[in-house]
Amino acid sequence: MKEKIIAFFTDVVKEMNKVTWPKKNDLRDSTVIVLVVCVIIAAFVYVVDTAVSGVLRQIL
């Protein structure tokens, strides 16, 4: 059992060494894209929610 645990963590370290981590500029660019998309989606949901609420107030 102990050998399997040691082998697992050895394999984890080997795989982590194969990972290509993003450069600082790439990470910043990706973060900006995610934030912009989140703001756009939030604005869209707000507009739709406001419109549906207005329609429902008129009906009820």
Per-residue pLDDT of 8-52, as tens digits, reads: 999 999 999 999 999 999 999 999 999 999 999 999 999 999 999
**Residue 30: which residues within 8 A CB-CB, separation 6 or more?**
22
Q: Is residue 9 part of a domain?
A: no
Q: Using CA of residue 26, residue 28, residue 34, residue 37, what is the dihedral sign? A: negative
Structural domain for 58, as ranges: 21-60
pLDDT given for residue 34 in this prediction: 98
pLDDT of 60 over the 90 cut: no
In a domain, 37, yes or no: yes
What is the count of structural domains for the chain? 1
